[in-house]
Structure 1
């Protein structure tokens, strides 16, 4: 798989240097196949069991544990499965990775995995357990009512869903024993050992580490009403704010709790309800609190924007440089574009991690 990925990366990079990436056509499936797969519940192939290398601590040992938090939602389940598969495949210590899934409402009752003839169509957690039967993920309830009254309409409906705001409440949701967590969106694949990102040095004061993009036009993330208000724009006084993407970030949970960062983010969400100061979901309040005061991480850990812009999701090139994590942030998701038979070239870098059974059947045909 690693050799295949490197070959795909080379092909995509070569295409990017030659000309802008465009959508390409693939083999069309019979309409009967499409209709039957669309109505069937999601079903995934069982992933192989990945085991720790000799240099890793014993399974279950707190030493060397990597805590990863992701939201779990039926609409993004296919992406979540691919992300988990990619993480386990590329780390030397897969049994040391502890997954924490945040679900809306009460978590499903713990029990044995689905048996023969049972479907995991309305239970994303059941699908995760069936696909990765050797994992023992933690499930944490996120109450949507906690944030529903704080959400303001954004440029894209998907950004307005309560689970999109769950990352703000990680420190309140995770157990007290979790002192550091890597938060990942469901539209990523990791093609390097995740322990390298997890172990970033946050120093004595930083709360969050993430790739930082100081060349981006930071002003566009806020409205004219924000920049014209001297009191509001003073929030960035003494800082050099740069854009960072909250879909990939390492968080010192203990420092977040001590610093009251949840409350600080909520305060900006309250300002937004009174006076529209931004247009993009949960990202801007994070920027208001933390931009210019995070630990910057190498850009290889978030090749973001592969889903295009938030309005149309047009195809985009890979950024120059090495790649450790690919992120389809934006409107276009690789599984939807592949299913529509109008994928972008970069979507073929996601496809090797797609365990969706219908996709495997389509490739075989």
Structure 2
């Protein structure tokens, strides 16, 4: 009997011990961890859910290209994009800048053609930013189009990359765009351009059509404000239709503000609008970047193809060029124009039927 009482006592002590352990565990282990909401999980990159890559998702390894797409020149911009996309194995991200009325057409042109595979973001440019800075005094109204001034405002666009390539819409790229992107900018330079005094192969044609290649052709040296700049009128100019830009350096030097200041100066004193070469977008760039830009490989900007409907480059020279630019009045989607075959091979018909090619004898 004594042995039985002893066993019962031991069992009772064990039961009490177990109950105490259970109570301790329940009281002191803390509340269960709540599940993270989706917004909370994004705060921790390692725990953030992976989301599908969308067309507007910029990547760190992309080659970013900024190009404007005006409604009346949409086919030109799409030909430029097609030539870039077709001639590189790099991942290219296109920032396509347009006005509100052309956003729908831009998207349709891409999504309903072979370009539907490109990575892109459509950006709307607000022309009100130009109010009070430009006056309609050019002999070529097309040069006053708001999108001509997008290049002034690169840091204000919704762009996540720190270095970009800017291209006009009358350009065809025959080389690999990543080679242009990797142009090494000199310290303190916010951009790289091609100087107008570069290729000996272009000099004969440039002289034959009277194309301007110096500051004298763009600035009115009769004005004291221009002479006060101290820029030699015979200094080589450059064409801002193709350039590589360092956005950080651009911001640091307040390039946009400088350009706007010269636009305002021109409103007051007409220092370049009546100059021989015409236009209102190139002269401010020439002033602000004088002696402060890196020179790119001249084969990356073979220009003046749109300056004359008759003067032609040797075909062998053009075949070796990395980039062709039909700057001037005579665009490759109109007629007359030279070297149409080099442009038209990249043209994609407008799926909406709005943009049509103009060709000889009324043929479209």
Residue deviations 1:182-201 (CA, integer Å, cap 9, x gap): 00001110000000001000
Structure 1, unaligned runs of 5 or more:
1-58, 109-121
Q: In the alignment, which residue of structure 2 is the partner of 1:329? A: 327
Pick from 197, 201, 211 the counterpart of residue 180 of structure 2.
197
Residue deviations 1:46-97 (CA, integer Å, cap 9, x gap): xxxxxxxxxxxxx97835311000112111111111111100111122xx10
Aligned residues of 1:66 and 1:97 also touching (Cα < 8 A): yes
Aligned residues of 2:66 and 2:164 also touching (Cα < 8 A): yes
SS at match of 1:213: coil
Shift of the 268–134 alpha-carbon distance from structure 1 to 2, 3 Å rule, reads: same
Structure 2, unaligned runs of 5 or more:
1-54, 199-212, 274-278
2:216 aligned with 1:219: yes
SS at match of 1:336: coil
TM-score (normalizing by structure 2): 0.70
Q: In the alignment, which residue of structure 1 is the partner of 2:261? A: 267
SS at match of 2:333: helix
Q: In the alignment, which residue of structure 1 is the partner of 2:289? A: 290
Aligned residues of 2:173 and 2:323 also touching (Cα < 8 A): yes
TM-score (normalizing by structure 1): 0.70
Mapped to 1, the partners of 2:129 and 2:231 lie a distance apart of: 30
Could you tell me how far 1:149 is from its partner in structure 2?
A: 2.3
SS at match of 1:128: helix
SS at match of 1:139: strand
Mapped to 1, the partners of 2:297 and 2:123 lie a distance apart of: 30
Mapped to 2, the partners of 1:180 and 1:335 lie a distance apart of: 30
Mapped to 1, the partners of 2:110 and 2:141 lie a distance apart of: 26
Root mean square deviation of aligned Cα: 2.9
- How many residues are aligned here? 278
SS at match of 1:209: strand
Mapped to 2, the partners of 1:76 and 1:301 lie a distance apart of: 22
Q: In the alignment, which residue of structure 2 is the partner of 1:164? A: 148
Mapped to 1, the partners of 2:230 and 2:172 lie a distance apart of: 33
SS at match of 1:99: strand
Q: In the alignment, which residue of structure 2 is the partner of 1:72? A: 69
Quick check: which has more Rg, 1 or 2?
2
